[in-house]
C-alpha cells in the first residue's frame, strides 16, 4: 500500500475513533514503527491531525479547522483596526518579521514606513507587500500548506535563525493568563525563533482570542507589546504588568497611536 492510500485510511479511522496509536497503525497496515512515525509526521505537517503521546488525534476545537479565508472574515473590522494601529509602530528602513496570521495580514496592508525589509512565510503577506516597489520582501521557503496559505518545514526555522530583525509581528490562537497558545507545535517553534531574532515582538490579537483555547504554549517572556481591540480583564492586565508587556488597545483617537 502506498503512503497516500495509507494516510487516507488513517484519516478514515480517526473519523470513527478520534485517535490512533503508533502500534495501531503498525498492526492495521502491517508497517514498521519507523513507517508509522513517518506517516504521523506527514499528517501533522499537512495540518489535519495533532500529535499525541504515542500517536495522533483529530483536532478537538472545530474553530481551528476553519480555513484561513474564513478566519480572515471573522472579526475583520476589529482586525483591520488592530492592523492599522500595529503598523504605525514600524519605522523607515527596519527589518520586520511578519507571521502567518489573519491579523498580521492587516498589519501588512497598513504599513506606511518606507524602505523596509519584510520577512515572511505567508503567501498572502507576499501578495499584499508586492504592490509596494520600495519594499524588500524575503520569503521563507518550504512546503506549501494550501489551507493555511503558508510555507512550512525545517527550512523556515533555519532561515529565521540567520536573520536579525527590528520587529516581529505574531498572532495567537489563544491568550491565557499563563501565555499564548497555538494548535500545532511548529507554530510555537516558528514564533520562538522570530522572537529570539528580533529586538521587539508585537502580538496582534482581537478580543476573541482571550476567550479561546488551544494546545501548545508560548511564554509571555517572548512578547514586548500586545495590540488588541477591546479592554481586557483586570486579571489579565495584572499579568501583563508583571511581565512588563505594553498593552495598546484600539480606541477612537488612541493617545498611544504610533508609540513604541
Q: Structure pTM? A: 0.71
All CATH 1.10.10.10 domain ranges of the chain, comma separated, are 3-58
Residue 222 has pLDDT above 60, yes or no: yes
In this predicted structure, the answer to whether residue 229 has a pLDDT above a threshold of 70 is: yes
Q: Is 12's pLDDT higher than 90?
A: no
Q: Which of 104, 259, 108, 85 is nearest to 173 (CA)?
A: 104
pLDDT digits (tens, 9 = 90+) for 16-51: 877 889 999 999 999 999 999 999 988 888 777 888
Distance CA 123, CA 126 (A): 5
Predicted pLDDT at 73: 52
pLDDT exceeds 70 at position 99: yes
Q: What is the CATH number of domain 68-249?
A: 3.40.50.1360
CA of residue 74 relative to chain centroid, distance: 16
CATH number of 3-58: 1.10.10.10
Q: What is the rounded average pLDDT of the residues 115-128?
A: 95
Q: Check pLDDT > 50 for residue 254.
A: no
- For residue 59, what pLDDT is reported? 67
Q: Which of residues 152 and 54 earns the better pLDDT score?
A: 152
The answer on pLDDT for 240 being more than 50 is: yes
Domain with CATH 3.40.50.1360 in the chain: 68-249
> In this model, does residue 64 exceed pLDDT 60?
no
Could you list the beta-strand ranges (E) of 112-251.
117-120, 136-139, 143-145, 150-152, 165-170, 174-176, 179-182, 198-204, 216-218, 225-228, 246-249
Place of cell 523596509: 116
State the Cα–Cα distance between residues 64 and 87, nearest whole angstrom.
26
Residue 253's pLDDT band (boundaries 50, 70, 90)?
very low
Amino acid at each position: 500500500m502506498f503512503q497516500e492510500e495509507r494516510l487516507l485510511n488513517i484519516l478514515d479511522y480517526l473519523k470513527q475513533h478520534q485517535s490512533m496509536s503508533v502500534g495501531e497503525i503498525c498492526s492495521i497496515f502491517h508497517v514498521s514503527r519507523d513507517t508509522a512515525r513517518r506517516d504521523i509526521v506527514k499528517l501533522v505537517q499537512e495540518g489535519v491531525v495533532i500529535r499525541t503521546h504515542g500517536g495522533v488525534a483529530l483536532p478537538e476545537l472545530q474553530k481551528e479547522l476553519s480555513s484561513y479565508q474564513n478566519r480572515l472574515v471573522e472579526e475583520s473590522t476589529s482586525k483591520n483596526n488592530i492592523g492599522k494601529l500595529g503598523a504605525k509602530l514600524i519605522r523607515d528602513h527596519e527589518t520586520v518579521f511578519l507571521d502567518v496570521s489573519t491579523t498580521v495580514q492587516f498589519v501588512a496592508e497598513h504599513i506606511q514606513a518606507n524602505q523596509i525589509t519584510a520577512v515572511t512565510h505567508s503567501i498572502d503577506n507576499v501578495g499584499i507587500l508586492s504592490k509596494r516597489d520600495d519594499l524588500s520582501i524575503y520569503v521563507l521557503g518550504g512546503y506549501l500548506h494550501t489551507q493555511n496559505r503558508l510555507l512550512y518545514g525545517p527550512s523556515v526555522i533555519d532561515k529565521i535563525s540567520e536573520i536579525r530583525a527590528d520587529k516581529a509581528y505574531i498572532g495567537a490562537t489563544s491568550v491565557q493568563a499563563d501565555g499564548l497558545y497555538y494548535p500545532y507545535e511548529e507554530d510555537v517553534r516558528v514564533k520562538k525563533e522570530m522572537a529570539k531574532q528580533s529586538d521587539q515582538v508585537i502580538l496582534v490579537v482581537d478580543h476573541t482570542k482571550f476567550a479561546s483555547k488551544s494546545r501548545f504554549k508560548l511564554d509571555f517572556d517572548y512578547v514586548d507589546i500586545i495590540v488588541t481591540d477591546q479592554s481586557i480583564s483586570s486579571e489579565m492586565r495584572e499579568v501583563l504588568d508583571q511581565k512588563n508587556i505594553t498593552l495598546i488597545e484600539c480606541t477612537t483617537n488612541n493617545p498611544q497611536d504610533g508609540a513604541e
